[in-house]
Amino acid sequence: MTIDENLLVLLLALLLDRILGDPQWLWSRVPHPVAIFGAVISYADQQLNPSSLTGSQRRMNGVAAILALLLLAVAAGLVFDRFFALFGLAGILLETGLVAIFLAQKSLADHVAAVAIALRDEGLAGGRAAVSRIVGRDPETLDEPAVCRAAIESLAENFSDGVVAPALWYAVFGLPGLLAYKMLNTADSMIGHRSEKYIDFGWAAARLDDVANWPAARLSILLIAAGAWIRRGTSASREAVRVAMRDGGLHRSPNSGRPEAAMAGALNVQLAGPRVYGGVIVAEPMINNPGRDMATAADIEDGVSVFYASCMVLTGIIFGLFLCFL
């Protein structure tokens, strides 16, 4: 595809994803592409990561596995690209549908907003159950402000790697870039942990994912600041940038802290801090420590509002680039 066609597809895909999200009637009948990626990654894990190997052998196997998986994703992207090119306008529409599948605007916002709804309708137990669907920390350790912080953190982090990053990789490299990014991001979520089983085998996937998400995480700061300006005014926008610049590096991830800090500044709340995963306490400093320490369901809803405005700004940028390349 030409650059203008790529940008047109991305523009239409962002609009389609914003309207439809992930239709459950479809994915209850056919496997989601990310689930297919997950099955392939699981197979590689089973074959190449036995406990009998040494750490160095596991690391070498992990490097080979992620490179093979990325090559497979790039090859699939090239095949789809050539296939869609055979059908002209219909091919553009088919590619739009495929790209939209890998974006997460509506589905992410719906899952996060559900936490606020559950807190209001069912209390803390409902909020814990809802937030456990989108974060990995132990829900029984969370009080209500911690449930709200977890939801907002997930919203900000996944804005970067679930919306901005796939859009950026598709805009630059087309379907091969998009599928490679989603394969890498899925691998990181499955094997990129610091557990005994994956600290070596998942090392390459985790490091490559850090590199792949670096540009999107920084761009997300500006997009969140723009969304905050639209929804909450100049002061919130300024705080989003200021807190992101000051506290973005406090997170253990080189990328996740950037959009989380921007959202913390936009909403004037504290995020991150000590958390419990699988019974293990992860001690991290608070992001935006001067902010409010009691996040609420209303803050979740404000965060979703900023998120949607940020997505709108991203869509507007793609539209502007499309016009420039016409």
Q: What is the pLDDT of residues 49-70, one digit of tens each?
A: 999 999 999 999 999 999 999 9
Distance between CA atoms of residues 151 and 302, nearest Å: 12
Kindly tell me if the per-residue pLDDT of 299 is higher than 90.
Answer: yes
pLDDT, average across residues 136-148:
88
What is the pLDDT, as a whole number, of residue 158? Answer: 96
Kindly tell me if the per-residue pLDDT of 110 is higher than 70.
Answer: yes
What is the pLDDT, as a whole number, of residue 193? Answer: 86
* SS3 of residue 275 by DSSP: strand
Distance between CA atoms of residues 20 and 236, nearest Å: 30
Kindly tell me if the per-residue pLDDT of 238 is higher than 90.
Answer: yes
Tell me the pLDDT tens digit for each residue of 18-61. 999 988 888 888 899 999 999 999 999 999 999 999 999 999 99
Q: Which residues contact 157 (CB under 8 A, 6 or more apart)?
A: 256, 259, 260
Least confident of 68-82, 207-221, 273-287: 273-287
Q: Which residues contact 183 (CB under 8 A, 6 or more apart)?
A: 37, 41, 69, 70, 72, 73
Question: Is residue 105 within 8 Å of 97, Cβ to Cβ?
Answer: no
pLDDT, average across residues 288-311:
96
pLDDT, average across residues 255-265:
97
Written as six digits, the tokens of 218 are: 């920084």
User: 237-240 — which CB contacts under 8 Å span 24+ positions?
Assistant: 237/266, 239/265, 239/266, 239/268, 240/265, 240/266
What is the pLDDT, as a whole number, of residue 278? Answer: 62
**What amino acid is encoded at 326 in this protein?**
L
pLDDT, average across residues 201-215:
97
Kindly tell me if the per-residue pLDDT of 274 is higher than 80.
Answer: no
What is the pLDDT, as a whole number, of residue 257? Answer: 94
Kindly tell me if the per-residue pLDDT of 280 is higher than 70.
Answer: no
What is the pLDDT, as a whole number, of residue 277? Answer: 65
Alpha carbon 207 to chain centroid distance?
16
Distance between CA atoms of residues 154 and 2, nearest Å: 34
What is the pLDDT, as a whole number, of residue 91? Answer: 95
pLDDT, average across residues 69-83:
97
Helices (H), 102-233: 105-131, 144-159, 165-191, 203-232
What is the pLDDT, as a whole number, of residue 226? Answer: 98
Give the relative orientation of helices 144-159 and 203-232 as an angle to the nearest 10 degrees: 100
Tell me the pLDDT tens digit for each residue of 115-137. 999 999 999 999 999 999 998 77
CB atoms within 10 A of CB 5: 16
Q: What angle do CA 23, 29, 35 make, to 5 degrees?
A: 80
